[in-house]
Amino acid sequence: MKILLTNDDGIYSKGIYAAYEELSKIGDVVVVAPIMEQSAVGHSITISTPLRIYEVNRKDKFFGYGVQGTPADCVKLAFYDILTTKPDIVVSGINHGANLASNVIYSGTVSAATEAALQGAKAFAVSLASVAYDDFSVAAEFTRKFAELFVKKDIKNNIIFNINVPPVKKSEIKGWRYTTQGKSKYLDTFEKRVDPRGNTYFWLTGERITVEHGEDCDDFWVSQGYVSVTPIKYDLTDYDIFNKLRGTEVEI
Amino acid sequence: MKILLTNDDGIYSKGIYAAYEELSKIGDVVVVAPIMEQSAVGHSITISTPLRIYEVNRKDKFFGYGVQGTPADCVKLAFYDILTTKPDIVVSGINHGANLASNVIYSGTVSAATEAALQGAKAFAVSLASVAYDDFSVAAEFTRKFAELFVKKDIKNNIIFNINVPPVKKSEIKGWRYTTQGKSKYLDTFEKRVDPRGNTYFWLTGERITVEHGEDCDDFWVSQGYVSVTPIKYDLTDYDIFNKLRGTEVEI
């Protein structure tokens, strides 16, 4: 099995190494990931500065290609210049921190998987749903097992799954569920500070507020000790609204 | 009417000024936009560097607030620190270049409108569908008229519309239509170059290939001389796939 592995925490992060070790058991893994952390870049692509690719070693041997760019850049460059054959699957992660509910739209991890689907590949994103917990072993094992399941599945290529693994020991994982993107939102706050020169600046902070907690939602299942697996797509059309509004255009 | 105006081409761009002049005819416009061009940033937010706000003059008078950040940052900061009352509508644009079909996911213009909807506002994004054409007058007039229509409409607040205006004279505009996000994709190519120090780098280029051209699609209607108005949402769940897969989880 040929696997392309990327992420948004960067090629030197702990999460991508954990995924690499597990995925290497089932296939040939090519790593193409940002050389620097790219969290919260969303589906950014780099068009104003040139992109560069560097060979990266970890533990004294060749690990993969580091790109001075975003996760979406990495996937585009991998397909264009680095991969010699089309991968059977593209994995993005393991992200350190949740990509659940409305936060999915800010996620570089998820956008790398989306970009891979646009390139015609089967792809999924994986996150360990806590920044405070840093044992990636359960998430890495699930990544390997889900990759095996997904590759065998007779399913169209432009599906993307967004996976979140609860930050608990293996014995505390209750199972996994197909889920929907939750409706929870973050209440943004900014911390206002003054720099040594007397100028004001802001740091974005944030606190999640749960607006709705439907039983299919990703954040609900993760809170119950299940791995959530949400099928997502890049067609943003709101078809309910479209079907209500079409034909109601008045001359303006 | 209270209007928040933002964009991704930056506060000094021609498109935001054209929108400002037209929207000022119908309401109080507060401008909060990136101080630098932010094209193709998608739904990036800035979490690793502090954000700063600068007062910006254009034509020798106060025009608005320039933010050292992304379009989504601008909207968050506007709601948190700049606006004194909730706006009746948030407008993002006018972008210089199309935001149609699969390109919508890379769009900073659209993401600003999405962020506004997450903040509970009615919002829309407007783009002039060609980088080669720079007469914003038709797009600006449509922006004003659509804002008036949308504000009066009894419709839920978290709807977002993505509008694209054909690059033609007013007499050549055939009307407007509610549309869906097209399925056209870009075939990415990179131009490989060598810098004066002998190191390789890449520039992203790209050419659109039309995969599907359904009669509801945004790019189809724009090519026919109509303004496209696509309702979009930030729930990325693929419900068709979810409904097929739910309950089929096997133990792994």
Is the Cβ pair B236, A238 closer than 8 Å? no
Residue A212 banded pLDDT, cuts 50, 70, 90: low
How distant is the Cα of B101 from the closest Cα of chain A, in angstroms?
A: 8
For B190, which residue in chain A has the nearest alpha carbon? A80
Is the Cβ pair A236, B236 closer than 8 Å? yes
Query: What number is the average pLDDT over the span B209-237?
Result: 90
Residues B79 and B120: beta-carbon distance below 8 Å: no
Residue A185 banded pLDDT, cuts 50, 70, 90: confident
pLDDT tens per residue across span B227-237: 999 999 999 99
Interface test with chain B among A235, A239, A243, by most B beta carbons within 10 Å: A235
Domain ranges of chain B: 2-181+214-245
How distant is the Cα of A58 from the closest Cα of chain B, in angstroms?
A: 22
Residues of A with CB below 8 A from B110's CB?
236
pLDDT at position B69, please?
92
d(Cα B124, Cα B229) in Å, to the nearest integer? Answer: 9
Is the Cβ pair B238, A236 closer than 8 Å? no
Query: What number is the average pLDDT over the span B114-133?
Result: 95
Of the CA atoms within 13 Å of residue B194, those in its CB half-sphere come to 3
Residues of A with CB below 8 A from B238's CB?
159-160, 231-233
For B193, which residue in chain A has the nearest alpha carbon? A50
pLDDT greater at residue A48 or residue A225: A225
Third-level CATH fold of B2-181+214-245? Stationary-phase Survival Protein Sure Homolog; Chain: A, (3.40.1210)
Q: Please list, residue by residue across B142-180, b when 16 or more beta carbons sit within 10 angstroms of its beta carbon and e when fewer do.
A: bbbebbbebbeeeeeebbbbbbbbbbbeeeebeebbbbb
How distant is the Cα of B187 from the closest Cα of chain A, in angstroms?
A: 9
**Average per-residue pLDDT for chain B:** 93
**Average per-residue pLDDT for chain A:** 93
Residue A95 is assigned to a ligand binding site: yes
d(Cα B99, Cα B219) in Å, to the nearest integer? Answer: 9
Q: What are phi and psi of A111, to 5 degrees?
A: -65, -30
Residues B110 and B125: beta-carbon distance below 8 Å: yes
Whether the pLDDT of residue B212 is over 70: the answer is no
Q: Which of A16-20, A165-169, B195-199 has the lowest mean pLDDT?
A: B195-199
Kindly state the percentage of chain A with pLDDT values over 90: 79
Residues of B with CB below 8 A from A239's CB?
180
Is the Cβ pair A178, B80 closer than 8 Å? no
Whether the pLDDT of residue B208 is over 80: the answer is no
Residues of A with CB below 8 A from B82's CB?
none
Is the Cβ pair A236, B233 closer than 8 Å? yes
Q: What are phi and psi of B235, to 5 degrees?
A: -85, 110
Query: What number is the average pLDDT over the span B64-69?
Result: 95
- ipTM confidence: 0.91
Is the Cβ pair B43, A43 closer than 8 Å? yes
Third-level CATH fold of A2-182+215-245? Stationary-phase Survival Protein Sure Homolog; Chain: A, (3.40.1210)
pLDDT tens per residue across span B146-205: 999 999 987 777 789 999 999 999 999 999 999 999 988 877 888 899 999 998 999 988
Residue B78 banded pLDDT, cuts 50, 70, 90: very high
